[in-house]
Structure formats: C-alpha cells, structure tokens
Amino acid sequence: MRILELDAGNSRLKWRVSDTDGIVSHGYLANSDDWHQELPLLMGQIGQIDCARASIVSGNERFELLNAEIDRHFNIPLLQAEVKSEWRGVRVAYPGLGVDRWLAMLAANHQDQRADKLVVSCGTAITLDVLSNDGEHSGGYIVPGVGLMKRMLHANTAQLPMVETAASDVMPGKNSIDCINNGILAMVAAMVNTQQAIHKTSHKASYKDRVVYLTGGDGALLKPYIHGECFYYPELVMNGLALAFEDA
C-alpha cells in the first residue's frame, strides 16, 4: 500500500509517500506558493496512492483544497487527524490541543516509553509539551518561533535590522545582527533547559532523565544547546500520523 502523508503547518506543507519498504519520496510546498498551480503538479509526480492522511493546522480552506485535489487525482478521501483525549498511551492535559502537538507526542511516546520527555516543535511558533514516561501530558508552552521573533523586532523597533541569517552561537553578540540572532537562540534554549532544570530539582534526577525530542525547521539549530539527551526528528508529526489512525 502506498500512503501519502501531509503535515500542513503555518509556513509550509510537508509531504511524503511511503510503502511497505519505507519512505519513497518527500518534499514540501511553501504556504506562499500558488497551491492551485503547484498541487496538481505534485499529485502528478508522486504516482498512484492508496491512502492519504494529514495533520492540518493551517485552516479548513487548506484542507478543502487538499481534499479536492487528492479526490480528483486518486479518487480517495483525505483523512484528517483529530486529537483524542487518550490514545496510544498518551493522555492530553486539556481540550483544544493542536493536532500537530498531539501527533508529535504520539510519535515520541511510541519511540521510547521509558523516559519522561520534552517534545519541542521549532516552527513558525515554538511549542513545548511535557510528557511523562507513562504518557501523561502535563501541559506545555507556546511562544513565537525564531523567525517570527526576528520579524517582530524589526517591525516594532526603529533601527533594528531584519536578520535573515541563522544563528550559530548563544554567546553575547558584538554587533546588532549577532545580538539578535544569538539572543533569540539563547532564549529558546533557556526555555527548554529550564524544564530540564525543574525536573532535576523536583525529582533529584539528572538531565538525562528527561529526553528532548525536537522537530520543526529550527530544531537542528537548537539541538547543540540542549542539555542532556536530545534527538531531532524533522518528520515527527508525520511519524505520529500512522499511530493516529492505527487501532489502540
């Protein structure tokens, strides 16, 4: 069976096709692209599929467009993942949780059920979810992403430049660009490492006892500055899609 998996986020649509042998192809479309033009081209390139499923956080209009295009090309419906309060061992802390966060937690919990976890997505927004080794979700955080913080600084100050380059350090900068770049990266790393420190203090545990699972476009940038055991899975949300549609 060939399966098309879609992760429709706030900035881009990530896609991949898999079969019994694994991932066959993958890529992405930017949300700023003309989907009416690009989607038919994409569907024509990926070949026949038997099942399509998606995580959608970019709005119902995006879902309707994707569903219509998949139906037209393959004559199958697009299955949309929906958050369940308890599924595959994960129990969410509150209703209204974003489906992408839920899927990432499903994937992280499936990966390792021995350790407490911090599941961190570094995209347009940065989300952090705290997940115990028995699947209990303790809640989390939502803050602006790295790129969004840069744009906010530029838009709301008179003299600070728009920084396009990626940060490469968390040390104090010696020019405006490095001050912005390094400062934002240091803030994000501090948020994650603070949760490690809280865990260490309250449970008399080591940093290794709470494993960090990173995903999202800036996850690889953040990884070197995280304390303790840390893994980067760029497709963690899509890894959770199969779990969302499998029987518990």
Could you read off the pLDDT of 21-67 as tens digits, one per residue?
999 999 999 999 999 999 999 999 999 999 999 999 988 999 999 99
Q: How far is CA 85 from CA 103, 137, 240, in A?
A: 12, 10, 15
End-of-domain residue from the set 36, 63, 80: 80
Q: How far is CA 244 from CA 88, 100, 176, 206, in A?
A: 8, 11, 45, 32
End-to-end CA distance of the chain: 21
Distance CA 111, CA 107 (A): 6
- Residue 51 sits in the same domain as residue 137: no
DSSP secondary structure of 32-75? TS-HHHHHHHHHHHH---SEEEEEE-S-HHHHHHHHHHHHHHHS
Percent of the chain's residues with pLDDT above 70: 95
- Residue 21 sits in the same domain as residue 128: no
Range(s) of the domain holding residue 199: 115-234
- Residue 194 sits in the same domain as residue 120: yes
- Assess if residue 244 is contained within a domain: no
Q: What does the pLDDT read at residue 17?
A: 97
- Residue 48 sits in the same domain as residue 143: no
101-137 pLDDT tens trace: 999 999 999 999 889 999 999 999 999 999 999 999 9
- Residue 52 sits in the same domain as residue 141: no
Of the residues 100, 116, 129, 218, only one is catalytic, namely 100
- Residue 142 sits in the same domain as residue 187: yes
- Residue 63 sits in the same domain as residue 137: no
Plot region of 36 (φ>0 → left; ψ -120 to 50 → alpha; else → beta): alpha
Q: Which is more confidently placed, 168 or 79?
A: 79
End-of-domain residue from the set 35, 60, 80: 80
- Assess if residue 86 is contained within a domain: no
- Asked if 100 is an active-site residue, the reply is yes
Distance CA 72, CA 149 (A): 39
Q: What does the pLDDT read at residue 165?
A: 94
Collapsing DSSP to helix, strand or coil, 101 comes out as helix
- Residue 155 sits in the same domain as residue 221: yes
Q: What integer is the mean pLDDT of 2-22?
A: 95
- Assess if residue 192 is contained within a domain: yes
Distance CA 234, CA 121 (A): 9
Q: What does the pLDDT read at residue 197?
A: 78
Q: Which is more confidently placed, 197 or 112?
A: 112
- Residue 75 sits in the same domain as residue 138: no
Q: What does the pLDDT read at residue 203?
A: 55
Distance CA 90, CA 240 (A): 12
Q: What does the pLDDT read at residue 200?
A: 64
Tell me: pLDDT of 208 over 70: no
Single pTM value for the model:
0.93
- Residue 60 sits in the same domain as residue 121: no
Number of domains in the chain: 2
Tell me: pLDDT of 183 over 80: yes
The domain spanning residue 9 has which CATH number? 3.30.420.40
Residue 206: which pLDDT band, with cuts at 50, 70 and 90? low
Q: What does the pLDDT read at residue 205?
A: 52
End-of-domain residue from the set 28, 63, 80: 80
User: Which own/partner contact pairs does 155-162 have at CB distance under 8 Å and 24+ positions apart?
Assistant: none
Residue 235: which pLDDT band, with cuts at 50, 70 and 90? very high
Q: What does the pLDDT read at residue 99?
A: 98
- Residue 43 sits in the same domain as residue 130: no
